[in-house]
Amino acid sequence: MPFDAAQLLPILPEITILVTASLVLLVDLYLDDQQKDLNHSLTLVGILIAIALTGAVGGGEARVFFDGNLVRDALSDLLKGSILVVSLLAFVYARPWLRDRGMLVGEFYVLGLFAVLGMLIMVSANSFLTLYLGLELQALTLYALVAFDRDSRKGAEAGMKYFVLGALGSGMLLYGISMIYGATGSIEFGPVAAAVAEQEISNKVLVFGIVFLVIGIGFKFGAVPFHMWVPDIYEGAPTPAVLILGSAPKIAAFALAIRMLVDGLESLHTDWQGMLVILAVLSMGLGNLVAIAQSNIKRMLAYSTISHVGFIFLGLLSGSQQGYASAMFYTIVYAVMSAGAFGILLILGRKGFDAERLEDLKGLNDRDSWYAAMMALIMFSMAGVPPTVGFMAKLLVLESVIRIDMVWLALVAVFFSIIGAFYYLRVVKFIYFDKPAEDAPALLTTGGVRFAMSVNGLALLVLGLFPAALLSLCQAAFA
């Protein structure tokens, strides 16, 4: 069968990111230390082109291509666009920090771009094999990014932990995939869904396959009890690596869950729903309770991530189109909030000092009132305080759970959410009501960073006041 070049059109964003990464890798060989900014410019241009192409080739009917291995639909269009926008913010925030420490090298951008490419492949996957290839491409580059600072022992340790536990999670996922392949005879989601609907739950191999898949998804999200890697990695890795790791990959993990559980195994919803209920309750409980005890802000944000994953699972387990749309809305919003929070930590750092303790945020309002306002907006949004978008995201997820008569689960979520508000508001208290340290240096910022942070912070307010645009896109993806 001859190759049809038209099949390349839907994957133009992926091709753009691949070409950009290869170009940065080549150009970097010929640049001296004063010209390293060119890597940054190339990366941003490549991502902007990919965003434009995502809009250009998106829309219309869903299309399956490359022999059923890839799909282009409303879900992939929105998730790809979100991943690229969040990644763009991450690269903008990272540059002053890297330059200040003499780490503005091509490798950082190449690894970051390949991680983005892996995420885009996961979003477009229409078979278990493609999904796994995208996941591994993303994971392998993130392992290297976590250990990116060669002089940091904590970074090397974090990279090793992430590698070992990530490999364990991938192994579980692969084991589950092999069982589902054994039970259904296919790795494409369409035929798998048809075979599963026929067999129902009579096939015990299928039951074990689902268990291992959910464990793998739990690992990739960092849900309790598969969360052990999250706080250590967030604390040990260089902050720009945590910024990339803690934002866009959550959107890719959501795509992983939707493609596997909804596209492939929706007829077994009642079987994986129970597992997600347990993961959601444990994640919200442990995440919020342990975050209160943290004095390291990176560890606090790690446990806060775990609690947010619990909320995302609430939308997924509801099993309705509205539930999936609300989980998608929550995931995208969370990625934007996370990028902003770590962006502020990068601005507060300088050579020889990283903003890692809550005390490092003291008096930020006296040092720069605009960045203080943006951080306060991010914290209010994470806590779910109206009129920020975090409130809307929580409300939508809770509504989807109440609609399936799981009112008790919604009450549990509200209870833990109130506990969570304490440690977010504590950050706001440090920013506004404490005095800065006497030796507090100037903030590490540029015009580009200030503009990106303004867009980032204000988006949380605008989306909270006018959520309909993003919400309708999320609902259209599951219509």
Query: Residues 40-53: pLDDT tens digits?
Result: 899 999 999 999 99
Indicate the angle between helix axes 447-465 and 369-383, nearest 10 degrees: 40
pTM higher than 0.85 for the full model? yes
Choose among 147, 139, 307: nearest CA to 227. 307
Beta-carbon contacts of residue 321 (< 8 Å; ≥ 6 apart): 475, 478, 479
User: Per residue of the chain (479 residues), what is the pLDDT tens digit?
Assistant: 566 777 788 888 999 999 999 999 999 888 887 777 888 899 999 999 999 998 888 777 878 888 888 888 888 899 999 999 999 999 999 998 888 888 888 889 999 999 999 999 999 998 989 999 999 999 999 999 998 888 888 888 888 998 999 899 899 999 999 988 888 888 888 888 888 877 765 667 888 888 898 898 898 888 888 888 889 899 888 889 999 998 899 999 999 999 888 888 877 878 888 888 999 999 999 999 998 988 888 899 999 999 999 999 998 888 888 999 999 999 999 999 999 999 999 888 887 777 888 888 888 888 888 989 999 999 999 998 888 898 999 999 999 999 988 899 899 999 999 988 888 888 899 898 888 877 777 787 888 889 999 999 999 999 999 999 889 988 888 87
**Which pLDDT belongs to residue 362?**
85
pLDDT in tens, 61-79: 878 888 888 888 888 899 9
Measure the N-to-C terminal CA separation of the chain; round to a whole number of Å.
34
Compute φ and ψ for 65, nearest 5 degrees: -145, 180
The C-alpha atoms of residue 476 and residue 97 are separated, in whole angstroms, by 39
The C-alpha atoms of residue 388 and residue 399 are separated, in whole angstroms, by 18
* Residue position matching structure tokens 């951008």: 109
The C-alpha atoms of residue 31 and residue 250 are separated, in whole angstroms, by 34
Single-letter amino acid, residue 193: A
Q: What tokens were used for 240? A: 């720009």
Per DSSP, helices labelled H in 101-259 are 106-124, 128-146, 153-184, 189-199, 204-221, 229-236, 239-245, 248-257
Sign, CA torsion 168/68/268/329: positive
